Structures are given as C-alpha cells and as structure tokens.
Amino acid sequence: MNRSRRAAVTTAALTLALSALVLTEAAYAGKPVGSGKGADAEQQGGTDKAGTGIYAAAQVKYSGAVAKGNGRGNVASSDVTWNPPPCWYAPMYGAKEFKKKMSKELKDAANTPGMTGHAGAAINELQRHYEDDYGWTDTPGYKDYNVDKDGEGMFWAAVENPTEPDILKRSSCSDIPFWVENGEAPPPQYEEAISPEILAALAYQHMELPKTKVTLAPDGTTKVKLPTWAWLDKAEFDEVEATASIDVPGFNISATTTAAPKSLTLDPGTEEATTLPADGECPIVGDRIGEPYAQGKAKETPPCGIVYGRSSAGATFPLKASLTWEISWTGTGQNTPVGMPDGKIEAVQEITVEEVQSINR
C-alpha cells in the first residue's frame, strides 16, 4: 500500500473513529496522560508507575532568552514568508504503554454505534497494522504493538504547535503513530519528524530579545531643523541565545538559536523629517550604534539621527526604532552556524518637536 493509501486510512480511522484518542492528548501533555494542548516547557520520561512500559511525553524544553509562560517571543521575522513549524512528530510512548492505550481506543471505536462502512474498515485495518504485522509500501506493520521491543524504541506521534492559529496547518501532521528504534533516525517519509532544525525554528519563535530604547539628544523634546542624535550602547543590544531541546529515553537532541545585533532603523513618524543616514539604517560601529552626543557637537551632523522639518504642533511624533538582529543556529550534529531570516523588534518613543523661537530687536 502506498503513502496516499496510508493517509486515507489515517484520515478515516483517526478523524472519524478516534477523535477522542487519548494518545493524541498525551502528545500535548507534559505527563503520560493529560489534557493540555501543545508543546510545553516541561517534559518527562521514564518508567510509568503501572509497570506497563516506558513512556515519554516528548515536550520541547526551552531555556535561555525565551518568553515567560512558553508564549511567543518578541521577535518578528524580516521574511514575511517565514513561519515556525505548525506541527511535528516526536517520540511519545514505549510499546507496552502504547498497546494499553491504542488497543482500548480501537476497541471502543469499533463498538461505537454506526461505526461501519469505510470507517469500520479503517479501524480494522489500523488494528491489523499494529497487531498482525500488516504493513504498506513504506510503512512496516507491527506484531502485538512491538511489545517484545519495549525499551528498544518509541512510538512517535503528532504534536501541534499551540501558537499556530490556522487549525488546518496545526493538524497537518496526520500520519498514524510509527515506531523508531533508539538511536535511529525516523523514516525519511516523515519530513516533519522533530529535528535540530525544527527545534531551532521553535527557539526562534519563543526568543525574547531586549527591548529597544534609543538614547536621544535632545531627549523627548527637540527643535525644528535641529539634528537629534540617536544611539545605542552595546550593553543594550548584546548577543542573545535561546535553546530548545527534547530529552527522552533513546532520543536527545537540541538546538541553540543565536541573535546578534546588526543595525538600527529609525522611522521619525512624519514624512516631514530627514533621517541620518538617508535610508534611516544606522549600522553597528565598534561597540555601539550611532554616536553619543557631546558638548560642542551641536552644529555637527550625527552619524545616526533625525532632523525634523516641522513642529508637532502641541502633539508628538511616534519615533519608531527597529533593531535588526542576525539570526543563526547550531545544534545536535550541526556545529557550524546556519543562517535564518533576520529578526526585528520595534519600540516607539513619543517625540515633541517645537519651533525655534527667535527674538527680534
């Protein structure tokens, strides 16, 4: 049977018959049985108390500069087409634990009134797949849920990214659970199997960078035609790292995503202003972006700043400062940094611009 046929079995069996499958819930939990949704900052692995085998709720663990509460970080990708993975496959259960849960759900589904026709046939086929060594072209079957191999590998299943708003994308990892031997790579047809590259993207998604508050001179209130100097010291935009990892019996991988400051872009909040440089992008020079203002430089042109052409008329202009970070990752099996789309964080500072007052004598 080919992959398309396996996908059809998956859809019929899991969507129509096993919508309440406890295995799927466990894929979201930080414990053997749970009702949480999505990857978490916690994970567990070991032998379950009932003695039914090795379990592992393979949650992604985050550390370093990441958002609290396992939420999205404050970094926006400069590539609007880049998105973190909506779902992935990860190790979930040892053979005994998988048999206990899957066999019960299959039995309950088969006994559900009206479960006949294609859905009933799909349930029967799924049961044969795990119990009677019934396989397909690229998917071998299992004898008694691989119980005789308990501890030698894990059944992998789908995990949804809880921060993905599109339910179709979030549920697109729709293949049925599959076995992977300890120390072996998942079969190549499972392109969404968790990997260091996927972990790097998740670390990127959860990364929390320092907020950007540009130092200005004059600060808060400036004058028309008077250069406003802008700068950031290195202490305010040092290199930042976030790590994502999975550590369960027989499977341990991690990736560290690094953000290094690249440039500062200023948007004065009005078209009647000139940025310095003209494109508004101030590069890093030495240990800072821009140059601090000092006495005696009032008539000089700052390397990074703004000249407002009109007053804010009693209101303010929203000066937007966007700090661009160069993103790369390293991880298990990947010691040389691999580039990712640049990241950006933005901050808005309200600027009052006044007319220069002159006295005629």
pLDDT given at position 235: 62
* Cβ atoms of residues 176 and 126 within 8 Å: yes
pLDDT given at position 45: 37
Angle ∠(241,244,247) on CA atoms, nearest 5: 140
Strand partners, 255: 244, 331
139: which residues sit within 8 A by CB, 6+ positions away? 1, 3, 6, 129, 178, 187, 189
Nearest to 286 by CA among 235, 220, 234: 234
* Cβ atoms of residues 212 and 320 within 8 Å: no
Which regions of the chain are under pLDDT 50? 1-5, 8, 11-56, 359-361
pLDDT given at position 236: 66
pLDDT given at position 216: 93
Q: How far is CA 318 from CA 149, 269, 315, 321, in A?
A: 63, 5, 10, 10
Query: Distance (Å, rounded) from C-alpha 190 to C-alpha 10?
Result: 14
